[in-house]
Structures are given as structure tokens and as C-alpha cells.
Chain A
Amino acid sequence: MKQLQIPIHTKTLANGLRVVVVPDTTAPVVTLGVYYKIGFRLEPQGRSGFAHLFEHMMFQGSENAPKMQHIKLINSSGGVLNGSTMYDVTNYYEATPSNALERVMWLEADRMRALKVDDENLRNQRDVVKEEVRVNVLNQPYGGFPWLDMPPVAFRNWANAHNFYGDFADLDAASLVDVQKFFHTYYVPNNAVLLLLGDVKPEDALTLAEKYFGSIPAGAAPPFADPSEPPQEAERRGHVEEKFGTLPAMAIGYVMPKRRTPEWYAMALLDQALHGGRAGRIHRELVLEKQIAVEADGGIDDIFGYNGPTQMTTRILHKPEYSDEATLAAFDTVLQEVQQNGISDEELQQLKVKWRSDYYSTLEGGRGGYMPRYGLMHLLACFTLFDNDPQLVNTILDGFLAVTKEQVQAAARKFLRPENRAIVFRTPINKDAKEAA
């Protein structure tokens, strides 16, 4: 068995910014990322959707790079860029030919140092974000299902339960004062990690990091609200109308154990057993064999990328001739089978091989083919910000490969219980597809 060993170089600057470098000369390309340890989970109350709106503002201008310059400078250097807001982190990243590295570092440092935006920028991006919500959620069949539908049903702490894309009234209420306050609270070097991957020498990368980021002043340690949930004692259910889609849908989410515990590793393999494509038990039973469902998929979303309560979620679109309860009963039968009989040695072996293979692809893979090493960057960032240990990239696989079948069965019994789950039913309001001529 060939194991990958990623060479990782790290340094913490005097202002608290952590720097992680992975040299790799496969292509004359460098990927740079800055991750801030703040996501939509802990955005301010009364400002739902703010963390994401703020992410947009980070492209609107900084001290020396006014609006449009950031995007223009990256694209015109032959690079691509984007940002994304997740539960517990927000990232900004660029992939460019390696001759543009210094320019990209200058740009990222400039917007870490000082954001320079005005009301016009905020109005503009508020409009853009509303269209983003419409195109992804409000005007799409099954838009936001289940990632926006599930939290208010599953969780009781506002941090975990609110609308992460934002209620439009909250987006409208967001002001420039909020923007600057959020920036000065969370976007400080001591709450971030800078990642450099690809065609760069480690010593050069660390020198450049010092040169461009070293003089940015540290901020106060950011306050983080407590995201913990009160214990759940009964199954929770919720209902959402489906405005466009033709099939009844449901999502079933089970709260996950704490990350990096033995139970968490076991749940990851159980997830593979249940949701691993067409070989996964849920798809096989509901779609291929019983033929109740048209789609049955899901799992633990971004398993390395969260730092608070989360779920393993199954998403099912089923044929209208089966009731929600009949579909749920068939789903429950699949889980009971694992709880009662566990999994075989052979199945466990298959799951581990597939896990290892998928892990390698995560490390290599880009986003849409044009963001080399995005996966590796993401893991390094999360292991640095949550665990203070980027070297986990090289060792965490061992934890999954050490799971026993007894642990998988025990995890199924302990976590896949009705009292540990929430269910959202998304029901079409319009079952008749005929149109008025």
C-alpha cells in the first residue's frame, strides 16, 4: 500500500498569523488561501446571513486595491479566485501561475490589513447576494434542501439553527458599521491561517509571508459564542413546502459525535457503508432494490471542515405512490439491519480501501478542475484552526483505517437512534404537472 506523505512547513508570525507551506512542483502553479476562523454559525444575532454578505464585501476594496482591482489583478495574472463561507470558517483563495505569487500575497495582505468599502458597495453586494439566494434557493426546485431546512428543525441554539443565507430583512439591516466591526473583531491575523501550496520554495514562501503580512497588527482574541446544544431527548420533525419540484422529499439527520474521537472515525466508515454511492446500503435498498426512491444520498458534509454540532444527513426524493411514512420505514429498516447484524469483514475492508482512495483524491483535487490542491488547502486550514496541528493531514487516515467492525456497529446503535435525529419533510404543493394552455 503506497502512502502519501505531504511535506508541510509551518511558522507563526509575531502577530499570530499561522503560515503553512506545501511545496509541490507538479505544475508551475501556486494556490494561496487565507482562512479566517469565523463562519455563519457564530455571526451576530439579528444579522442572519451576515458572514456570507461580509465575504462578498472582502472583494469590494481594500486600502490600496479599490473595488474591481482585486479581481482584475488576479485574473490578469492568469489566475482564478473565489471565497466561501462555511459553518466555522470563511476562506479566500486564488490559484495563479507561480510568477504571480508575490502579487497575490500583496493583495491578500492588503485586505487583511484594512477593508475600504462604502455604502454603494454594500448596496451593490446586498443586491447580488439576494439574487444568489434566489438562484440557489427561492427559485430552484428543492433549493436549500436540506442545508437550510434542517438547522431550525434539528437545533435549539440560535448559532446552529438560524438561516445561514440570511433573511432579507436582516440583510437589509446590515450596515457599514456592522461590516467594519465584524472585520476588526474576526479578521485579525491571530484568527487566521495563510496557506501556500504548489510551485514555491518553503523558505521563499515564509520570507514573503513575513514581508507582506508581518506588519499587520494583531487584534484582541475574538470572542466566540458557545455553539453547544442542549441534550436532545426526542425525535424532531419539521415540514417545508416545495414550490416547484414534483417529488416528495425528506431529509433525516443524526447528530454526530465530537470530531476526532474513536466514535467519530467509526461514524465516518458507517457513513461510507450507508451513503457510499450505488454500493451504499441506503441507495441500494431504496433506489435499486425496493425502488421507492428516485434519489437517496447524503452523508457527513465536509467531515473535516466543521467545529461544532453537525449531522450525518440522508436526502431522499421518493416516488409519489409511496407515503412519507412508508419511505421512512424502509429507511429505518436499512439502519436496523446494521444495528442488529453489523457489517462483515469484507464490507469493512471495501470501505477502508474506498476511504483511502477518496482521501487521496481530496488531497489532489481542485474545485472544478481549476483550483489545484483545494482539498489539501482546506484540510490544512481546518486542522490548523481547529486542532493547531496541520500534520494531521499525514496521520488522520490511520484513524479511519484502524476502525473495527464492532465499533461501526456500536456507532450505529448509539447514534442512529430516533432520539438523536431530526426529519424534514419537503412536500410539493403542486403535484399536477399539466399546464394551462
Chain B
Amino acid sequence: MATRVAEVSSLVPGLSPERAVNWPKRTRARLPNGLEVVLAEAHSIPKFHGELFFRAGNAQVVDRAPGLADMTATVVRTGTAKRPSRKIEEDLRSLGADLGTSASQDTSAISFAGLSEFSESILQLVNELAREAAFPEPEFERERRQKLEEVKLERTSPGFLAGERLRKVLFGSHPYAQISPSESEVAAYKREDLLSTYGQIYTPENGLLMLVGDFDPQAMLKTIEATFGNWTGQKPSAKQAPAPPKPRGRRVYMVHNPGSVQTQILIGCHAITRRDPDWIKLGLANSLYGGAFNSRLVMNIREDKGYTYSPRSGVHPLRHHGYFSVSAAVRNDVVAASLTEMFYEIDKLRSVPVPEAELADAQNYVTGVFSMGLATQEGLLSQFSTVELNELPPDYLETYRDKIRAVTPADLLATARKYFDSANMQIVVVGDRAQIEEQANLFGDVEVYGAQGGKIS
């Protein structure tokens, strides 16, 4: 399908014919122990990027403590049966490698990159971390104390406070409500809880190993079989979680942050996951609204009115639920004006069909940016892992651009009406109460919280 023509001045050079976008072939395998493997060649530099995912994260173990999978991941890299912490770090350096361990709500992961000439040794180290992490007591204790300082510190960031409040409002008693543990929860972490989390989540049957880079896939697959083949372990059973609340009507949640010289606005509502058939349309609608520099929201409250430097909107897919949000850090005296424009642009998309030319612009943007991922090993890894982790159709990447281009103004209108839930948007403002309360009152009943999370009024 050819690029659609956008309206431009006559001096502007037109677009020449598009070159084909070809995603590299993936080599797939499933080892007898259940470990899924996806490999792709990319020879841009003599390195490779990889990630060993496990399909469970903080949500899986939230009944023991929020953030427990994340803490487990942190301590995984601090020692194995064979190597103490310092040796792990020095070995990584000697292999030209970077490595990170982390957990989100739905996954835990060991991510790594290094020189292709050392790929076997790097995989051997990843294998040790996945199977033989020792959780040395002093390392655990240090990381726990470290985490205590971090959770205190993050409460001083307006962006964190806004995100935390919106997630609590949208997800209630569902595990997705918790984006970070409290000080007392961290203080109560126990090494045994980390060990049992590790045993439960870090198993081959629960795992997905993805590698992109400068290697021969068949040789690499042999190395992987030799390295990970004799690992055993079952997938943990899926957890039932309570349904998230369905907030009706707009409400305002103010987080009082004394001394703020700016207000962080974050509004949001429930949406969908990547597996939903509407996902592609919603992504396009978001791009038009506030997901691109050229979007309506950015042009309005930044380029026209100068209220903010950093307006944006996003669609956030978690595994079982998704949500839509709009954010901007604005001058204290234009909080009400900024919210008004945010809702104006939402309501306009919900009531007036998008002009064809503007739709074509947005389609070109979304399809063009999508192809940028082809240029780097990290970009490819990110796209491939999105497909695998969400269990999207195998031709998802190959058909994505055509699906974007098939969206019509009527589709977008329906999508905006369905998912940009204007009447039920929840509004979070983080700022100095005395400076913004009157403005906040104009948008609904206001609940006020402190930066430590407690309700003030």
C-alpha cells in the first residue's frame, strides 16, 4: 500500500516511493524443558542484545508483598553458587557486557548485551543467575536498606506521585494499583520470600529467551540447548485478581506537594490490552490526540498557549488491563485552563470526525516510527518481545502498517467514543494546595492526599 498524501505547500518536495520494510526472520524453538527461544540476526555491530523473560512479576506475588518480584530481581545479580557479587560485575566487564535484572507487574527479566565474541560466556552467566542465584544474606540486607532510601526519595518526584495516585484510583484492590512498595513493606521484606519468589517465577517453563544480534542462529541455538537444556521447573499457576473498580464521573485527586512551582497533571481512564482487536485503532487515536509532537494536544497547550513543555498522552497496556492517560506539567496559574483544553481535545475527537488529511498524516507517522525499530538490535528486540510476551499473531509486525492504514475517520470516532471516556476521566493534580485548590474544585469533588500517601481531606 502506498504512502497516503498529506496536504503540503507546493514548494515542499514530495515523498519518493517507499522502500520495503522487511522484518528479519525469527528462528523459534521450544526446548524440551519448556523454555521458548526466539532468535534473529542483526549485523549492525559485532554485538548482540538479549533478554530472558519470565511471564510473572510483581502482580503474581503481591499477596506476600508489593514489589517483591522487583526486589527478587535486584538481588538475583548479587551472587550465585559459583560467583560472588564482585566477580559477577568484573566478569561482565571483561566480556564487554551490560546486564540488568528487573520486574514489572507481569514479567521478570534478565536483560543483557555484549560482544558477540563472548556470547557463550555471557549466556553461561545469565544461566547461572536464572538458576543458581544464591541470595547472600549480606547482599539482600544491603539492597533492602538501599531500597528503603529509594522509596523515600521517589515520593519527592511529582511524576511518581501522580502516577501512583492514578493507578490507585483506577485499580483499587487489583495488584496493578501498586506501583511501588511503602517503607514499612520494604522493611518487612524477608530473604525467604525472595527465595520462594525466585523458585516460583524463574523456571524454564515460564521463560522466554530472546536474542537479536550478530550471530548465526543455528549455532546460537546449539549453544542455548547446551547451556539451558538441563534446567527444569514448572510454570506457576495463574493468580486470580479482583476486578478493578469502574470509577463513574470525574473526580479530582490532589496530592499536596508544598513548595511546588508547577503542577503535574495526570488524567486517565480504563482502556484495553494489546490483545484487543481495537488496540491498533486506539494507538492511532492516541497519536492524533497527544502521542506525537504534531498532535492536537501538543499544538494546543504547548505551541499555541505555552502552558507546558511536556504534554503527552499514552495508552498503557498491562497484561490483563490497560489504561489511557494524559499528562502535562504546567504553570500553577493555568491548571484549570490546561484541563479545559485537555477535555476540549478529547471531546472534539469524540464528536467530530477527523479530517482525511489529518488522519493520513497520523497514519504515516505511526507506520514510519514503527519501522525505526528495524535499525538497531535493541529496537528489534523490543518489537519482537512485544509480540511474544503478548502472544500476538506471528504476522503482527508484518501486517501492522496495513492495519493502521486501513483505519477510517468513522473508526477513529468510534474508538474515541469508546475509550477516551471523557465523562469518567479521573483527574490527578500534584502541586501546592494553596495555589491550585480553587482551580481543582472546578472539575469535580476533590480528595486531598499528602506526599506520603495519606488522605488529608
Contact of A357 among B20, B96, B155 (CB under 8 A): B96
Q: Is B337 an interface residue (CB 8 A)?
A: no
Q: A80-B369, A350-B93 are in contact. Are A128 and B375 (CB under 8 A)?
A: no
Q: Considering the chains assembled together, what is the distance between the CA atoms of A134 and B261 in angstroms?
A: 7
Contact of B375 among A288, A319, A373 (CB under 8 A): A373
B171-200: CB near A (< 8 Å → 1, else 0) gives 000000000000000000000000000000
Q: A135-B329, A437-B454 are in contact. Are A128 and B262 (CB under 8 A)?
A: no
Q: Is B249 an interface residue (CB 8 A)?
A: no
Q: Is B97 an interface residue (CB 8 A)?
A: yes
Q: Considering the chains assembled together, what is the distance between the CA atoms of A374 and B377 in angstroms?
A: 14
Contact of B115 among A80, A126, A128, A357 (CB under 8 A): A357
Point out the residues of chain A lying under 8 angstroms from B149, CB to CB. 246-247, 294, 319
Known: A128-B306, A245-B153. 14 other contacts (CB 8 A): A2-B116, A2-B117, A68-B294, A72-B361, A74-B294, A77-B364, A99-B18, A126-B306, A128-B303, A246-B149, A277-B98, A372-B375, A372-B376, A433-B152
Q: A76-B294, A131-B329 are in contact. Are A26 and B116 (CB under 8 A)?
A: no
A350 to chain B, nearest CB (A): 4
* 7 A-B pairs whose Cβ atoms sit less than 8 Å apart in the complex: A103-B14, A130-B331, A135-B309, A245-B156, A357-B96, A361-B45, A369-B376
Q: Considering the chains assembled together, what is the distance between the CA atoms of A431 and B365 in angstroms?
A: 47
B38 to chain A, nearest CB (A): 18
Q: Is A391 an interface residue (CB 8 A)?
A: no
Q: A350-B90, A369-B378 are in contact. Are A69 and B9 (CB under 8 A)?
A: yes
Q: Is A216 an interface residue (CB 8 A)?
A: no
CB of B90 within 8 A of CB of A127, answer no
Contact of A349 among B94, B331, B382 (CB under 8 A): B94
Point out the residues of chain A lying under 8 angstroms from B9, CB to CB. 64-65, 69
Interface centre among B13, B89, B299, B368 (most CB of A within 10 A): B368
Point out the residues of chain A lying under 8 angstroms from B308, CB to CB. 128, 131, 135
Q: Considering the chains assembled together, what is the distance between the CA atoms of A177 and B223 in angstroms?
A: 65
Point out the residues of chain A lying under 8 angstroms from B294, CB to CB. 68, 71-72, 74-76
B1-20: CB near A (< 8 Å → 1, else 0) gives 00100101101111111111
CB of B156 within 8 A of CB of A353, answer no
Contact of A75 among B152, B155, B302, B361 (CB under 8 A): B361
Please, which residue of chain B has its CB at the minimum distance from the CB of A131? B309
Interface of chain B residues 277 through 310 with chain A (CB within 8 A): 292-294, 299, 302-310
CB of A29 within 8 A of CB of B374, answer yes
CB of B117 within 8 A of CB of A1, answer yes
Report B's interface with A, CB cutoff 8 A.
3, 6, 8-9, 11-21, 42, 44-47, 85-86, 89-90, 92-98, 113-117, 142, 145-146, 149-150, 152-153, 155-158, 256, 259-262, 292-294, 299, 302-310, 329-331, 360-362, 364-365, 367-369, 371-379, 382, 450-452, 454, 456
Q: Is A123 an interface residue (CB 8 A)?
A: yes
Please, which residue of chain A has its CB at the minimum distance from the CB of B147? A294
Contact of A67 among B303, B369, B379, B454 (CB under 8 A): B303
Point out the residues of chain B lying under 8 angstroms from A69, CB to CB. 9
Point out the residues of chain B lying under 8 angstroms from A354, CB to CB. 93-94, 96
A24 to chain B, nearest CB (A): 8
Q: Considering the chains assembled together, what is the distance between the CA atoms of A364 and B93 in angstroms?
A: 20
Please, which residue of chain A has its CB at the minimum distance from the CB of B294? A75
Q: Is A95 an interface residue (CB 8 A)?
A: yes
Please, which residue of chain A has its CB at the minimum distance from the CB of B382? A369
Q: A132-B309, A139-B158, A360-B46 are in contact. Are A76 and B364 (CB under 8 A)?
A: yes
Q: Considering the chains assembled together, what is the distance between the CA atoms of A243 and B257 in angstroms?
A: 11
Q: Considering the chains assembled together, what is the distance between the CA atoms of A135 and B330 in angstroms?
A: 8
A334-367: CB near B (< 8 Å → 1, else 0) gives 0000000000000001110110111011011110
A287 to chain B, nearest CB (A): 7
Contact of A139 among B42, B117, B262 (CB under 8 A): B262
Q: Which 10 pairs between the two chains have the least Cβ-Cβ distance?
A: A78-B368, A357-B96, A127-B306, A372-B375, A76-B361, A28-B19, A75-B294, A27-B374, A435-B450, A132-B309
Report A's interface with B, CB cutoff 8 A.
1-2, 4, 24, 26-29, 64-65, 67-69, 71-81, 95-103, 105-107, 123-132, 134-135, 138-141, 198-199, 243-247, 276-279, 284, 287-288, 291, 294, 317, 319, 349-351, 353-354, 356-358, 360-361, 363-366, 369-373, 433-437
CB of B156 within 8 A of CB of A291, answer no
A248 to chain B, nearest CB (A): 11
B197 to chain A, nearest CB (A): 22
Contact of A366 among B93, B98, B306, B379 (CB under 8 A): B379
Point out the residues of chain A lying under 8 angstroms from B18, CB to CB. 28, 97, 99
A166 to chain B, nearest CB (A): 14
Q: Considering the chains assembled together, what is the distance between the CA atoms of A108 and B351 in angstroms?
A: 37
CB of A279 within 8 A of CB of B158, answer no
Please, which residue of chain B has its CB at the minimum distance from the CB of A372? B375
CB of A102 within 8 A of CB of B156, answer no
CB of A99 within 8 A of CB of B17, answer yes
Q: A78-B367, A80-B369 are in contact. Are A103 and B15 (CB under 8 A)?
A: yes
